[in-house]
């Protein structure tokens, strides 16, 4: 006669008090084997947990460095635009620079003069 496998482990682990749970573990071979597997898994998780935390910390540091670089880059770019009056006027007031502003020789029509 084949014995049915005990399926009470999850229910007792979740809902029973510790005393009742341990009493059942001592009496039932199926649940004892399941409990030993769970203890091994728990030990593996405890072993790996510090490395996972370290990776998360490293990722957070990298995100912070990227965000800081982006902020500094934007602030410097805006600072250069505000300090360089020609660029500032061109961007904010719609004035465009002409060929003469670049220092090219021009004729009476404003076209670049070619010899």
pTM over 0.75: no
Instruction: Give the Cα separation of 38 and 34 in Å (integer).
Output: 6
> What pLDDT was estimated at residue 61?
96
* Residue carrying structure tokens 């500094």: 72
Instruction: Give the Cα separation of 75 and 21 in Å (integer).
Output: 62
User: 57-85 pLDDT, tens per residue?
Assistant: 999 999 999 999 999 999 888 877 666 66
Q: What are phi and psi of 95, to 5 degrees?
A: -80, 135
Task: Identify whether the C-beta of residue 5 lies closer than 8 Å to the C-beta of residue 33.
Answer: no
What is each CA distance from 20 to 33, 40, 83, 112, in whole angstroms? 17, 22, 77, 97
């Amino acid at each position: 006669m084949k014995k049915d496998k005990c399926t009470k482990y999850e229910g007792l682990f979740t809902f029973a008090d510790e005393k009742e749970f341990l009493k059942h573990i001592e009496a039932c071979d199926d649940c004892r084997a399941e409990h030993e597997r769970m203890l091994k898994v728990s030990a593996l998780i405890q072993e790996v947990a510090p490395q996972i935390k370290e990776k998360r910390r490293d990722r957070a540091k990298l995100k912070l460095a990227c965000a800081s670089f982006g902020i500094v880059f934007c602030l410097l770019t805006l600072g250069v635009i505000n300090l360089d009056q020609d660029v500032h006027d061109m961007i904010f007031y719609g004035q465009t620079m002409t060929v003469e502003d670049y220092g090219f020789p021009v004729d009476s029509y404003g076209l670049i003069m070619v010899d």
